[in-house]
Amino acid sequence: MFALTADACEYILQQFEQKNNSSAHSNVWKRRSYAPMYIHTPQLKPLKDLVVKRFPDYTIAFDVVFESDGREVHWHCDYESLGPFYVPQRLKAVRNHHFLSIHFNLTDKGGHLAVYDGLILSYVYYLCISWFGIFGWVHWILACVSRPLFILFARKCKSDRLIGNVFDNTRLHSVTAGHPRTSYVLRLVKDDVKLTQSSVSKGIARSSACHVF
């Protein structure tokens, strides 16, 4: 199990308040901060050491802080926010878990992370979002059609404050509605995932958040 200390949580929240944070997708998140790299500070060293030990085949690529007013984050898989990484075979990336996240609620009663691990539907969403954009009308239609599968087969993670939930962020996930929340997320990439000059340029082109890289 992964957990943040109360001191680490307070440190992240204080630093987050001092930053001029991006408001991308403001209909979903009030603010978000990409790659502040708190994970490399002394306050988070115990967590970093544990992650490195538990995931020897992965590298901690970056971290993200999200702030929401508590509304639901609809079912999606991450494409535009994967960062500047080279993904030549999308299906392989989804099938072989090239991208993992560890999600922490920093505030109480902030909704539950829910995960649907199905490979094929996750890949369909991946293509839909990469072609038509995230949270657009095509994405919304696909979410409506597939909702029964989520009701039947999705797993709901614990929402306890400071407890980390591990999931593959190229697989489908959502966050249920709850109290206004701030979340801290670590992004891990498998060691054979590469960067290229082209992948960095494309990352910046598809998401302003990638400028930070």
Check pLDDT > 60 for residue 24. no
Q: Give the tokens for residue 173.
A: 């996930």
Q: What is the pLDDT of residue 49?
A: 97
Check pLDDT > 80 for residue 34. yes
| Contact between 29 and 72 (Cβ < 8 Å) | no
Lowest mean pLDDT among 120-129, 133-142, 199-208: 199-208
Please state, rounded to an integer, the average pLDDT across all residues of the chain: 88
d(CA 20, CA 98): 30
Q: Give the tokens for residue 122.
A: 């996750």
d(CA 31, CA 94): 27
Check pLDDT > 60 for residue 15. yes
Confidence of residue 23 (pLDDT cuts 50, 70, 90): low
d(CA 126, CA 151): 20
Ranges of H-type helices in the chain: 6-18, 45-54, 90-95, 119-132, 137-153, 197-206
| Contact between 142 and 150 (Cβ < 8 Å) | no
Q: What is the pLDDT of residue 138?
A: 92
Check pLDDT > 70 for residue 197. yes
d(CA 143, CA 16): 32
Q: What is the pLDDT of residue 9?
A: 96
Confidence of residue 31 (pLDDT cuts 50, 70, 90): confident
Q: What is the pLDDT of residue 159?
A: 86
Q: Are strands 113-116 and 172-175 parallel, antiparallel or unpaired?
A: antiparallel
pTM: 0.88
d(CA 133, CA 116): 20
